[in-house]
Amino acid sequence: MAKRVTGVVLRSLALAGVVAVVVAAFAVEAAHDRQRVDEAGVVLVGLTAVAVLAGSYVLWRDGGVRLAVAALDATAPLAAANLAGPPPRPDDAIVVSGLTVRFGTRTAVDALNLRVGRGEIVGLLGPNGAGKTTTVDVCCGLRRPDAGTAYVLGLDARHGGAALRRSIGVVPQESGLYGELTAAEHLRLFAALYSLPDPAARIAEVLALLGLHDRRDGRVATFSGGMKRRLALARALLHDPPVLFLDEPTLGVDVHGRRALWDHVSRLRDEGRSVLLTTNYLEEATALCDRVVIVDAGKVLADERPDALRRGGGMTLVLTVERNAREVADATGGTVADDGTVRVALARHDEAAPAVEAAGLVARVTGIRTEEPSLEEVFLRLTGRGLRE
């Protein structure tokens, strides 16, 4: 509330400054016409007006000087008293706190909290429309949030500017490649944008790293889907950024191409880079991610390691019985599978023994095994719908 009041006061001062300049301009013009003010006086008043307008702009922008000063303080994101969620760690590369983004009356991201450590791959999973891409856009400085903050390597994403762009590499959902250019021409174009001192050597390095050196002079229009995604990753790595945002990097890529990209993404962690990865492939999240953050309707539903998520999702007790499978299912609260076994969903491991005892009272149990849920089953329990709904 205090921040909002301060912003209103400062912006009111900014408007007052603009009005004062306009009034002064009319007054000086009238005085000059009556020869009460000489040319030197007009110049002096003009310079003063420019200074007032500049000050008014600073006051107006982002709610005032207070916010501008805070943006210059690199320690601000770590020292913020109102930081929601778990406290940040010194080695956090990305810190998102209370992030809220609205599109009209729809809230796409709702007070979301997220952390990515240095040298960590974090997967952001959720149904289509859950707010994953919007979150990435805010972190990259492409969209201003309605509330909350996003910091990358201590840089406020709202004001990071060139320093933020030098620190991050982005592979968007739509690669944005130019079909008429060759792979090498693409990278030369972006090397010029980043003012790389020795682009030829770096271009050769990333093309070799992504397995595209032999196709460096091939037109991108002739590339397969997997090759295009690898070129997009090469472009993101060109300026050697410590933080990567990969928005569904294997979307539309065949199985072989996906596996090749997984190998490249895994190496990013080995190199000490931090990666925020959005994906619709649960298998991909299991294979690549140190932690998985599941979001739905812009809210975080879970933030755990993939194996911990599966363990926390309970277990399934599978019973093989000689007869009366239906009666056993009724006694244990389970279901009869197509193979005749009885499957009993359990919230905790200590519920297994009572279930086996109840089954034994109905029929002879000849086989017992347990299964942990897949990440997909955990996801469906949390969101209640499929990824591509």
> Strand ranges (DSSP E) for 258-362?
274-278, 291-296, 299-304, 315-321, 335-336, 342-346
Give pLDDT, residue 77. Answer: 36
The span from the CA of 40 to the CA of 70, in Å, is 39
Identity of residue 38: D
Which residues touch 271 (CB under 8 Å, ≥6 apart)? none
- Of 27-31, 70-74, 128-132, 319-323, the one with minimum mean pLDDT is 70-74
Average pLDDT, integer, range 253-264? 84
- The number of beta carbons lying within 10 Å of the beta carbon of residue 106 is 10
Q: Is the pLDDT of residue 160 over 60?
A: yes
User: Which of 352, 347, 355 is CA-nearest to residue 370?
Assistant: 352
Q: Considering the chain, what is the average pLDDT of its residues?
A: 79
Give pLDDT, residue 72. Answer: 39
- Domain residue spans in the chain? 2-72, 92-308, 314-371
Q: Which residue has the higher pLDDT, 82 or 11?
A: 11
Contacts of 346-354 with C-beta under 8 Å, sequence gap 24+, read 346/314, 346/315, 346/316, 346/317, 347/314, 348/314, 349/315, 352/315, 352/317
The span from the CA of 389 to the CA of 296, in Å, is 12
CATH assignment of 92-308, among 3.40.50.1580, 3.40.50.300, 3.40.630.30, 3.40.190.10 = 3.40.50.300
Residues of 45-74 as b/e, b for ≥16 C-beta within 10 angstroms? Answer: beeebeebeeebeebbebbbeebeeeeeee
User: Which of 75, 145, 134, 118 is CA-nearest to residue 290?
Assistant: 118
Q: What is the pLDDT of residues 353-389, one digit of tens each?
A: 888 888 888 888 888 888 766 666 777 777 765 544 4
Q: Is the pLDDT of residue 189 over 70?
A: yes
- The number of beta carbons lying within 10 Å of the beta carbon of residue 1 is 5
Q: Is the pLDDT of residue 147 over 80?
A: yes
Average pLDDT, integer, range 23-37? 58
| 297 φ/ψ sector (left φ>0, alpha ψ -120 to 50, else beta) | left
Q: Is the pLDDT of residue 221 over 50?
A: yes
Identity of residue 173: Q
Give pLDDT, residue 321. Answer: 87
Which residues touch 210 (CB under 8 Å, ≥6 apart)? 230, 231, 233, 234, 237, 264
What CATH number is given for 314-371 in this structure? 3.30.70.1150
Burial class, 92, CB count within 10 angstroms (exposed 0-12 / middle 13-18 / buried 19+):
buried
Phi, psi angles (nearest 5°) of residue 193: -65, -35
The span from the CA of 83 to the CA of 256, in Å, is 42
User: Which of 134, 191, 194 is CA-nearest to residue 162?
Assistant: 194
The span from the CA of 326 to the CA of 331, in Å, is 9
Give pLDDT, residue 7. Answer: 56
Average pLDDT, integer, range 281-289? 85
Q: What is the pLDDT of residues 61-118, one digit of tens each?
A: 545 444 444 333 333 333 332 334 445 566 789 999 999 999 999 999 999 999 999 9
User: Which of 247, 228, 74, 101 is CA-nearest to residue 169?
Assistant: 247
The SS3 assignment for 354 reads: helix
Which residues touch 93 (CB under 8 Å, ≥6 apart)? 116, 117, 118, 120, 152, 153, 242, 243, 274
Give pLDDT, residue 69. Answer: 41
Phi, psi angles (nearest 5°) of residue 279: -155, 150
The answer to whether the beta carbons of residues 153 and 117 sit under 8 Å apart is no
User: Which of 123, 381, 127, 384 is CA-nearest to residue 269?
Assistant: 123
Give pLDDT, residue 324. Answer: 86
Written as one string, the DSSP assignment of 224-256 is -HHHHHHHHHHHHHTT--SEEEEESTTTT--HH
Q: Is the pLDDT of residue 180 over 80?
A: yes
The answer to whether the beta carbons of residues 191 and 234 sit under 8 Å apart is no
Do the two domains 92-308 and 314-371 of this chain adopt the same fold? no
Q: What is the pLDDT of residues 227-249, one digit of tens each?
A: 898 999 999 999 999 999 998 88
Q: Which residue has the higher pLDDT, 312 or 1?
A: 312
Give pLDDT, residue 120. Answer: 93
Give pLDDT, residue 108. Answer: 92
